[in-house]
Amino acid sequence: MRPTSGLVVGILVLALAGCASSGAAGGGADDQLRLGAKAAERGYWQEALFRFQRADQARPNSAEILNNVAVALEALGRYDEALSTYKKALEVAPKNTVIRRNYARFAEFFTSYARGVKPKGGAGESR
- pTM for this predicted structure: 0.73
pLDDT greater than 70 at residue 23: no
Q: Is the pLDDT of residue 22 over 60?
A: no
Predicted confidence at residue 119, as pLDDT, reads 58
Domain residues for the domain of 66 are: 5-116
CATH code, domain with 38: 1.25.40.10
At 6 the pLDDT is 57
Structural domain tally of the chain? 1
Integer angstrom CA distances of residue 33 from 8, 29, 38, 86, 107? 13, 6, 9, 17, 24
pLDDT at residue 21, as a whole number: 46
User: 81 lies in a domain?
Assistant: yes
Shortest CA distance to 11 belongs to which of 36, 28, 30? 36
In a domain, 125, yes or no: no
